[in-house]
Chain A
Amino acid sequence: MKITRPRTLAGQLALLVALALLVAQTVNAGLLLKERQERRLNTISAPLVARIVDTEERLREATSDRETRHGFVGRARVSASAAIRPGMVRLPKVERRISDRLAEAPVGISDVLAAQVSAEDIRAWVPRYNPGRAPPDQEFVLVSAKLEGGPWINLVGLSPRLDRGIASQIILQTVVLYIVLLLAVLWLGRRAAASLGRLTDAVTSVGVAQDAPDIEPDGPADIRHLTTAFNEMRGRIAGMLAEKDRMIGAIGHDLRTPLAGLRVRAETVANPDERAAMIATIEELDATLDDILSLARLRHSAEEIRTVDVAALVDAVAEDFRALGADVTFEASHRITARLRPALSRRAIRNLIDNAIKYGARARIEICKTDGWVLVEISDDGPGIAGTDRERVFEDFVRLEQSRNRQTGGSGLGLTLAREIIRGEGGEIELENLETGGLQVRVRFPADRD
């Protein structure tokens, strides 16, 4: 399994807090364990040191060999060699601690050995040793201390068992901390993320839904400030967009008026060829103006979305072109419906068929319904479009003049407008060169659920 880094705010916060907590708890546990070990060392060594000092005293004060007859002084055994045999588990820390303590005492000890032994070991060594009430698994410490220039003193002490409770205590503490902290962090993260999410939605919708209400500032103060700032920015953008619309409207009016005057004057031109050329130019200018205005106003079209028979729509546009003498084939189809804005969609289809006729001599159109999409395919007999240009033709005012005759005219906005409209209906448009030559434009709209 691959572990991926969390991407959300809440996830990253939680991960960071968890890691920091882990480090802190590790250090904490280390300190605690060290302190416990220290205490355990003292618990083991302090009585042993006292007893060694005591034994040494009694040895010194012993007046006869009788008192040390069996090699025992009290519960210590005095011998010429150390009781600790090789192979026993040595306890270097205990040895060091006892040596240190003995060095402060008024006794001359040249060497200290310590080993971990079991009750069995002790019985083998001291047959009459009675472990008393010690539990059967009690462990003992055997210590041998060599008196300077004298015998070894051998002693047995209790070895307190390792406190396993401490480990589980630390783990429990860590788990509780984790749960409490992580819950808090996740809650905070979620809250911040929710505010950010609303903001993201609102930012996404700028320009789409112009009159969306302001977002209610919510969540941590930083995010509330951001929300407020965003609301203000949206207000400014809305103002700019409104200004743009007003300006475009004014431009439209200001250009149409002289154009209308020209159009009337053109009628009075005596030379019929001249007149036709003038009228064509004026109509061309008007069409370009219309494309510009439509594109600029597309985002807030007032047209209603309704269920439309797309087959009839394509058929109607094809028929309009046929009436003008264009070569357009479309096999009338049964009803295929989609939810869209009919006048805008009609315009998009009209632009595409117009392109096919202009650049590809004729348009062959097919329509079908597949996988929830209404597919309209418009093919022509033209030169097609090179792969690198296929995205570029959708840009504003782009015309591929190398391969196309300047006289074909047009604003270069036709495809841009068509794609904007089609995308606005939730559809998509693709271009592809046909193997037989010619270009195929594929348009899809989301089909109506029926």
Chain B
Amino acid sequence: MTESSPHILVVDDERAIREPLSRYLKENGFRVTQSDGSADARSKLSAYAIDLVVLDIMMPGEDGLSLCRHIRANSDVPIILLTARTEETERIIGLEMGADDYVSKPFNPRELVARIRVVLRRMGGGVMRQRAPELQSYRFANWVLKAGERSLVDAEGVAVPLSTGEYNLLLALVTHPNQVLSRDQLLDLTQGREAQAFDRAIDNQISRLRRKIEADPKSPALIRTVWGGGYTLATDVVLL
């Protein structure tokens, strides 16, 4: 652990989560500061140079959402929310208040570390903060991909459900329209929250996606193969 390793603030009123999580993050090369509530977190945020906040939504007193709003109003420090899966609406509200990502309890700590790295890399790359892709709707060709609902809807309003792999791949494509993405890049981008996405070959997913969204899957017009390169979504994408 060095001075240059990222400094994470873990805010959770439950010691049962806060302490093992802090230990786990330290083992994975992060500097960690713990906080058991919103008031304490505010003072630690001003005292230290925090690189990222892991924040529990449900806390007694001032809750996570309120703290999230406060942090976003004052700084650009990225926030990852800890949510219970039953609190769908709070998760969405949290993302809308400027949280960068979330994990549902009980989360896989490895996944949390992966997400922390993705968010830090995104921030380090100097990319402008944008709404979490999760909240967007993307219109391309005759389709609308509603990321929040994870549904693909055609011009007639018929929902076409996608497998997890297909969804992650399509989300990667619509967020990088008209760019050539290599298989490695696609693999990297689709490393989503579900482990099974890793297991399927990208090519297989692409052909499945083509069957669903191409007018003629045999001569694909939307998802083009770039020889030696990878794939590209050959259409403009409009954010809704």
Question: Do A and B belong to a common assembly?
Answer: yes
- Distance of A361 Cα from B167 Cα, bound (Å): 27
Quick check: is B5 within 8 A (CB to CB) of the other chain?
no
- Distance of A268 Cα from B28 Cα, bound (Å): 11
Cβ B158 vs Cβ A337 within 8 A? yes
Query: Nearest Cβ distance between residue A195 and chain B, in whole angstroms?
Result: 39
Cβ A260 vs Cβ B161 within 8 A? no
Looking across the interface, which residue of chain A has its beta carbon closest to that of B108? A263
Quick check: is B106 within 8 A (CB to CB) of the other chain?
yes
Q: In the complex, how many residue pairs between chain A and chain B have their CB atoms under 8 Å apart?
A: 110
Proximity string of chain B (1-39) to chain A, C-beta cutoff 8 Å, 1 when within and 0 when not: 000000000000010110011011001000000000000
Cβ B164 vs Cβ A323 within 8 A? yes
Proximity string of chain B (138-169) to chain A, C-beta cutoff 8 Å, 1 when within and 0 when not: 00000000000101000011111111111000
Segment among A30-38, A67-75, A302-310 that sits at the interface with chain B: A302-310
Q: Chain A contact residues: over half helix, strand or loop, or mixed?
A: helix
Looking across the interface, which residue of chain A has its beta carbon closest to that of B85? A290
Quick check: is A264 within 8 A (CB to CB) of the other chain?
yes
Proximity string of chain A (299-317) to chain B, C-beta cutoff 8 Å, 1 when within and 0 when not: 0000000111100110111
- Chain A neighbourhood of B27, CB < 8 A: 268
- Chain A neighbourhood of B165, CB < 8 A: 319-320, 323
Query: Nearest Cβ distance between residue B83 and chain A, in whole angstroms?
Result: 10
Looking across the interface, which residue of chain B has its beta carbon closest to that of A312? B160
Query: Nearest Cβ distance between residue B17 and chain A, in whole angstroms?
Result: 5
Given contacts A282-B106, A319-B166, A323-B196, contact A252 B17 (CB under 8 A): no
Cβ B208 vs Cβ A319 within 8 A? yes
Cβ A316 vs Cβ B163 within 8 A? yes
Cβ A259 vs Cβ B105 within 8 A? yes
A258 interface neighbour in B16, B86, B110, B211, Cβ under 8 Å: B16
- Chain A neighbourhood of B212, CB < 8 A: 312
Quick check: is B184 within 8 A (CB to CB) of the other chain?
no
Quick check: is B117 within 8 A (CB to CB) of the other chain?
no
B164 interface neighbour in A249, A253, A320, A332, Cβ under 8 Å: A320
Q: Chain B contact residues: over half helix, strand or loop, or mixed?
A: mixed
Cβ B199 vs Cβ A324 within 8 A? yes
Cβ A268 vs Cβ B163 within 8 A? no
Cβ A268 vs Cβ B24 within 8 A? yes
Query: Nearest Cβ distance between residue A88 and chain B, in whole angstroms?
Result: 98
Cβ B161 vs Cβ A264 within 8 A? no
Cβ B109 vs Cβ A263 within 8 A? yes
Looking across the interface, which residue of chain A has its beta carbon closest to that of B159? A308
- Chain B neighbourhood of A265, CB < 8 A: 20
Cβ B107 vs Cβ A335 within 8 A? no
Query: Nearest Cβ distance between residue B91 and chain A, in whole angstroms?
Result: 13
Quick check: is B129 within 8 A (CB to CB) of the other chain?
no
Given contacts A320-B164, A324-B196, contact A286 B106 (CB under 8 A): yes
Quick check: is A149 within 8 A (CB to CB) of the other chain?
no
Given contacts A257-B105, A335-B158, contact A264 B20 (CB under 8 A): yes
A316 interface neighbour in B157, B158, B166, Cβ under 8 Å: B166
Quick check: is B186 within 8 A (CB to CB) of the other chain?
no
Looking across the interface, which residue of chain B has its beta carbon closest to that of A293? B86
- Chain B neighbourhood of A253, CB < 8 A: 58, 84, 86-87
Quick check: is B197 within 8 A (CB to CB) of the other chain?
yes
Cβ B158 vs Cβ A259 within 8 A? no
Quick check: is A261 within 8 A (CB to CB) of the other chain?
yes
- Chain A neighbourhood of B161, CB < 8 A: 308-309, 312-313, 315-317, 342, 346
Query: Nearest Cβ distance between residue A309 and chain B, in whole angstroms?
Result: 5
Query: Nearest Cβ distance between residue A268 and chain B, in whole angstroms?
Result: 7
- Chain B neighbourhood of A268, CB < 8 A: 20, 23-24, 27
Looking across the interface, which residue of chain B has its beta carbon closest to that of A322? B200
- Distance of A147 Cα from B232 Cα, bound (Å): 138
Cβ A317 vs Cβ B163 within 8 A? yes
- Chain A neighbourhood of B160, CB < 8 A: 308-309, 312
Quick check: is B82 within 8 A (CB to CB) of the other chain?
yes
Q: Point out which of A260, A262, A307 has the most chain B C-beta atoms below 10 A from its C-beta.
A: A260
Looking across the interface, which residue of chain B has its beta carbon closest to that of A324? B196
Given contacts A256-B106, A324-B196, contact A261 B24 (CB under 8 A): no
Q: Point out which of A268, A282, A307, A312 has the most chain B C-beta atoms below 10 A from its C-beta.
A: A312
Cβ B84 vs Cβ A263 within 8 A? no
- Distance of A261 Cα from B13 Cα, bound (Å): 12
Quick check: is A430 within 8 A (CB to CB) of the other chain?
no
- Chain A neighbourhood of B164, CB < 8 A: 320, 323
Some 22 contacts from A to B, beta carbons below 8 A apart, are A256-B85, A257-B16, A257-B105, A260-B16, A261-B17, A268-B20, A282-B106, A286-B106, A290-B85, A297-B86, A307-B159, A308-B158, A309-B160, A312-B160, A320-B165, A322-B200, A323-B196, A323-B199, A324-B199, A337-B158, A342-B161, A346-B161
Measured CB to CB, the residues of B under 8 A from A are: 14, 16-17, 20-21, 23-24, 27, 58, 82, 84-87, 105-110, 149, 151, 156-166, 196-197, 199-200, 208, 211-212
With A253-B87, A257-B16, A258-B16 already in contact, 10 other A-B pairs whose C-beta atoms are closer than 8 Å: A253-B84, A260-B16, A260-B105, A260-B107, A264-B20, A297-B86, A307-B156, A308-B159, A315-B161, A319-B166
The 9 tightest CB contacts between A and B, nearest first, are A261-B16, A319-B163, A260-B105, A323-B196, A260-B106, A263-B106, A313-B161, A264-B20, A316-B163
